[in-house]
Structures are given as C-alpha cells and as structure tokens.
Structure 1
C-alpha cells in the first residue's frame, strides 16, 4: 500500500493504473486501522494488478472534500480511470478481497 504523498493528483494515479483502490482514513479511526492492516496484507496478492493508495483525511482535507468523502474509512475502487465502487464504513478482509477480485474481473463500469 502506498501512502499518498501529494506528488500526484488522484486523477493522475487513477489514470496511470488499470485498477486502483483508494483508502481514505484517519489515524484516530479504529476501523481504518483494521482496514489498512487488511489492505497491507492483501497487497501481495494483488501486487501486479491493483495499486492501493491510502490518504490521510486529516493531512489532505481538500482531497477528501473534492472526492466527497464524508466518513472514514471510505474506499474507492477505480477501473480504467472510472469509479467502479465507493463504500464507507468497516469492511472485513473477505469483503475487501471480494471487491478487489470483482474490480479485476469487470470489463466496464456498466457491468
């Protein structure tokens, strides 16, 4: 998982990768810590296929506002530069795995 460093915009990250998962989190958020841990563990399974980026909403408030993030954790799944799925709240490792596998198998957002 890559910690967002503000060197590229979210649009650049999404455009330059086929599949991207963006986690919006806060350090004080316990569900965020759990999801972050799960995504870190899953990164090896999806290393060559999905780019995972974590954005601290306390450090990058403007980005969170631009992306309409209203709660943490929020996860956005992008495929071919388009938003495929956005969800907020705690997700188990199994749920994250299912969503990441679905992201890889979808051919277009209309599916």
Structure 2
C-alpha cells in the first residue's frame, strides 16, 4: 500500500476504517513538510500495509484542516478505528511514529 492523498470529500471515509491511520497535514511550499516526507515514506514502507498513511494538502483542503484546527504544518494525527488518539505538530522522528502506532 502506498501513501494515499485525501481531500475534503474523501477524508472521512479514509480515516473511519478499522485499524491505525496516520494523517500528515502538509503543503508543497513548506520546507519542514518536505523534510518530513522521506521519514513518512520510510515509515509507511516498513509498516508493510499494516498502517494506512494519508496526506492532506492544507491549501487544497481547507475544511479538513479547519476541522482539526491545523495551525502549523507539518502536523500529524493518528487515528485508531476512526477515533483521534494523537496530534503533534512538527517533524516527528520515525521512532515516535512507531511508538504511537504500536501502543494503540
């Protein structure tokens, strides 16, 4: 499974599923977002399909960004079975992603 891209209209259906979903709010002009992208891609590869990774472009999807009060990017949300469990802004090390997805 590859990283998926959600829109305002597809977001709800992408995260309200069984299992763990990691959501990354980003923008193409955001330097830290570009730095975080390879970490997220490596995390997704290592998860081998057991964890869904979804990206949301804040410029193209203002409703979803507003719904989750995204004030800075990158911001990462972690959902389990459609429920928000964790929210953090900034570049997260891969071990933090693993920690918050494994314990859920």
Partner of 2:5: 3
Check whether the contact 2:7–2:61 (CA below 8 A) recurs between aligned residues: no
- Tell me the TM-score normalized by structure 1: 0.80
User: What are the within-5 Å matches in structure 2 for residues 1-111 of structure 1?
Assistant: 1-6=3-8, 8=10, 10-91=11-92, 95-106=93-104
Q: Normalised by the size of structure 2, how large is the TM-score? A: 0.85
Give the match's secondary structure for 1:51. Answer: strand
- RMSD value over aligned CA atoms? 1.7
Please state how far the C-alpha of 1:103 moved relative to its aligned partner: 1.6
Find the aligned partners of 2:70 and 2:48 in 1 and give their Cα distance.
26
Deviation at 1:61, TM superposition (A): 1.2
1:58-95 Cα distance to aligned partner (Å, 9 max, x none)? 1111210111111111000111221111001122xxx2
How far 1:6 sits from its partner (Å)? Answer: 5.0
Offset at 1:5?
Answer: 4.4
More displaced stretch, 12-21 vs 68-77: 12-21
Go from structure 1 to structure 2 and tell me whether the alpha carbon gap of 1:7 and 1:47 turns closer, same or farther (over 3 Å shift): farther
Tell me how far apart the structure 1 counterparts of residues 45 and 66 of structure 2 sit (CA, whole Å). 30
